[in-house]
A and B are shown apart, each in its own frame.
Chain A
């Protein structure tokens, strides 16, 4: 079964990311890849580089910033293949980002196979698009939500969407933090906000305008909020 590890970094703990953490991170990546546990993953640019997209009353609204302001901020993700949620949580507990923030572990529905991502094409940039709920939207509106398949087929077909999936609901998540060497696992998502991540897609585009064009056509643009966050390749700093 597949699980998403959502790494949420706490800026106040950033100083804890020392050489030991860096080494532990390299080891974790190497081990999870070698054991074929790690299917995919990426570091993301910080929330200051995020852009949200939504459509309300037929009007496209683009805003600077993440879909919700939280203390711990999404900084990256991994997709793991594990036998159970418990196993995924154990892996999360060994990832050093749990020392400097939280790792939310969320299951992907069975129907979503995952693969490693290719390098971006010439002149292209990759983004993570977080599909999020908006508590201000009336729940009854969801009865009329359009299916997402046409959007998926279109973006897949054009090579814009590399991968994506719904996620199991936030209350099914487990969140892992390590403080003073103690692993603390809590039920639920990393942030107690009404706004939550419902799914994600990985996009490859020429620029942000293209990513926005793609995001606005997603059915959740009208009923939720889409956050477009650029990947942060490890070669670039």
Chain B
């Protein structure tokens, strides 16, 4: 029943927001419908079309509530007319044939992810309205108090109403500009879940699955767009490595050291299929390229077999597309693997000349790694120190300190 819930929650909320324009009402009525399902289905059996059942009950709940507020009489009539049009009957019975309910989720996703909303508001609203996670669950997932998350959601809805953020899918010519914002939200949710350690709560780790589900919805509802498929492929390639990423002690295992037998080949095949479909549209984008890079890794049976020159070329493509210094850093890593660490250092020197990555621990960490591989142990040691000082979480810092110890002892060995 849990999967049916996840799918249907978003569909129902989206439809009710569209029909009533009232976000809070939509949430409450979706909640009512699910509560009723939990009571009746174990007793009466799951209906043939659970989605239609839930939609009817939710809509009836909305009609009832609006009826009690006299100022919304016109809205009620509108709702009733819509119900009649869709079912072809006047019946309020949940089992009446409720035909095809239009999928309003696309409007909902684009509105929740509107650039005029702060990123954390977009994330909260997207999860609340599209996945059925409760406010408390979302708060736990993002490690903030429930009251904070509740306020965040209220603020977001107020801004939508007060600033009049339109409830719609952007017109075709605006889609290229608005799509990255939506994809960024989904990828952020995914990364929150992906980076959650084994000790963290289940809801937080579940964010990966929520993000994948949402990317799937987006890809389905926008079949002509390649980037949602690219993002989906990227997420699946990454998630396929989840069990190999962390060892039993909770330490991070680098890509080159991971036990590839633990990589989930089912997800990898699925990812590859989505990526091929995306690339067939011949409209490359940053998520498709990142997915292609992830695909290169997935294709290598061992770390040594990795096609680094191809990855380096893909990173060049990505760097040209995005102008992102982080991408350029990743390119340096790939170039170092393909052409040797000295080539990688040259790219780093250019990056370090600017200050775009100041304070970013991976910059000195990468330099340290190149220097280590070149046997320049003293320089490597000071770079590892610099990186460890900047590194945030436990596993990353432990890893860097281990490397630091390693190059120090090597240095001593050389006398």
A interface residues with partner B (beta carbon < 8 Å): 45, 48-51, 60, 62-65, 125, 206-209, 212, 228, 230, 232
Other 11 A-B pairs with CB < 8 A, given A45-B162, A209-B166? A48-B155, A49-B158, A50-B163, A60-B177, A63-B116, A64-B116, A64-B159, A207-B166, A209-B174, A230-B163, A230-B164
- List of A residues within 8 angstroms of B116 by Cβ: 51, 62-64, 208, 212
- B177, A45: Cβ atoms closer than 8 Å: no
B374 within 8 A of A: no
CB-CB < 8 A to B115: which residues of A? 62-63
Main secondary structure of the interface of A (DSSP, over half): mixed
State the CA gap A48–B151 with chains docked (Å).
12
Chain A residues within an 8 Å CB radius of B174: 209
Chain B positions within 8 Å of A50 at CB level: 163
CB-CB nearest in chain B for A45: B162
Residues of chain A contacted by B117 (CB below 8 angstroms): 64
Interface string of B147-170 (1 = CB under 8 A from A): 000000001001100111110001
A228 to B115, CA, bound (A): 13
Bound CA span A49–B164, Å = 10
B164 — which chain A residues lie within 8 A by C-beta? 125, 207-208, 230
CB-CB contacts below 8 Å: B160-216 with A: 162-166, 170, 174, 177
With both beta carbons as reference points, the residue of chain B lying nearest to A60 in the complex is identified as B177
Which interface residue of A60, A209, A228, A230 has the most chain B CB atoms within 10 A? A209
* Closest A residue, CB atoms, query B115: A62
State the 5 A-B residue pairs at the shortest beta-carbon distance, nearest first: A62-B115, A207-B166, A64-B118, A51-B116, A49-B162
- Among B35-68, those with CB < 8 Å from A are none
A-chain residues with CB within 8 Å of residue B114 when the two chains form the complex: 208
Cα A60 to Cα B174 in complex, Å, equals 12
**Interchain CB contact under 8 A, B118 and A45:** no
Q: Would you give 21 A-B contacts (Cβ < 8 Å), ordered by A?
A: A45-B162, A45-B163, A48-B155, A48-B158, A49-B158, A49-B162, A51-B163, A60-B177, A62-B115, A62-B116, A64-B118, A64-B159, A65-B118, A125-B164, A206-B166, A207-B165, A208-B114, A208-B163, A208-B166, A209-B170, A230-B163
A53 → chain B, closest Cβ, in Å? 9
Q: Which of B115, B116, B165 has the most C-beta atoms of chain A within 10 angstroms of its own C-beta?
A: B116
> B170, A64: Cβ atoms under 8 Å?
no
Q: For the complex, is B15 an interface residue (Cβ under 8 Å from A)?
A: no
The residue in A45, A60, A64, A212 that gathers the most chain B C-beta atoms within 10 A of its C-beta is: A64
Query: A49 to chain B: closest CB distance in Å?
Result: 4
* Chain B at the A interface: SS class: loop
Closest partner residue, chain A, to B166 (CB atom): A207
Contacts of A125 in B (CB 8 A): 164
Complex Cα distance, B165 from A106, in Å, reads 31
Instruction: Name the A residues within 8 Å of B155 (CB-CB).
Output: 48
| A60, A63, A65, A208: the one within 8 Å of B165 (CB) | A208
Given known pairs A60-B177, A209-B170, the reply for A49 and B163 (CB within 8 Å) is yes
Type the 1/0 row for B97-139, where 1 means its CB is closer than 8 Å to any CB of A: 0000000000000000011111001000000000000000000
A contact residues around B159 at 8 Å (CB): 48-49, 64
Docked Cα-Cα span, A63 to B163, in Å, equals: 13
Q: Which residues on the B side are within 8 Å of A232 (C-beta)?
A: 162
Given known A51-B116, A62-B116, A64-B118, contact A230–B177 (CB-CB < 8 A): no
- Report yes or no: B165 in contact with A230, Cβ–Cβ below 8 A: no
A62 surroundings in chain B (CB, below 8 A): 115-116
Smallest CB–CB gap between B156 and chain A, Å? 9
Residues of A within 8 A of B158 (CB): 48-49
Q: How far is the CB of B323 from chain A (nearest CB, A)?
A: 8
Min CB gap B59→A, angstroms = 25
**Chain A residue with the shortest CB-CB distance to B177:** A60
CA distance A216 to B163 in the complex (A): 17
How distant is the Cα of A206 from the Cα of B166 in the complex, in angstroms? Answer: 9
A132 CB to nearest B CB, Å: 17
Q: Smallest distance from the beta carbon of A228 to chain B beta carbons, Å?
A: 8
The CA of A65 and the CA of B115, in the complex, are separated in Å by 11
Indicate if the CB atoms of A64 and B121 lie closer than 8 Å.
yes
How far apart are B354's CB and chain A's nearest CB, in angstroms?
Answer: 14
Chain A residues with Cβ below 8 Å from B177 are 60
A45 to B163, CA, bound (A): 8
Residue of B nearest to A230 (CB): B163
Enumerate B66-116 residues with CB–CB distance to A below 8 Å: 114-116
The answer for the CA separation of A179 and B158 in the assembled complex, in Å, is 32
Are B166 and A230 closer than 8 Å at their CB atoms?
Answer: no
B162 touches A230 (CB 8 A): yes
C-alpha gap A208/B155 in the complex (Å): 17
Task: List residues 210-239 of chain B with CB under 8 A from any CB of chain A.
Answer: none
Report chain B residues within 8 Å CB of A228: 163
Q: Which residue of B lies closest to A229 (CB)?
A: B163
Rounded to whole Å, the gap between the CB of A54 and the closest CB of chain B is: 12
With both beta carbons as reference points, the residue of chain A lying nearest to B117 in the complex is identified as A64
Query: Nearest Cβ distance between residue A168 and chain B, in whole angstroms?
Result: 29
Contacts of B162 in A (CB 8 A): 45, 49, 230, 232
Q: CA A209 – CA B116 in complex, angstroms?
A: 9
Chain A residues closer than 8 Å to B165, beta-carbon distance: 207-209
The closest CB in chain B to the CB of A50 belongs to B163
For B170, list chain A residues within 8 Å (CB).
209
Task: For the complex formed, measure the closest distance between the CB of A128 and the CB atoms of chain B, giving whole angstroms.
Answer: 12
| Chain A: CB-nearest residue to B165 | A208
The complex places the Cα of A124 from the Cα of B118 at a distance, in Å, of 24
Q: Once the chains are docked, how many angstroms separate the CA of A63 from the CA of B116?
A: 5
Q: Chain A's nearest CB lies how many Å from the CB of B322?
A: 11
Enumerate chain B residues within 8 angstroms of A206, measured Cβ to Cβ. 166
Question: How far is it, in angstroms, between the C-alpha of A114 and the C-alpha of B155 when the chains are bound?
Answer: 34
Chain B residues, Cβ within 8 Å of A63: 115-116
**How far, in whole Å, are A164 and B158 apart by their CA atoms in the complex?**
27
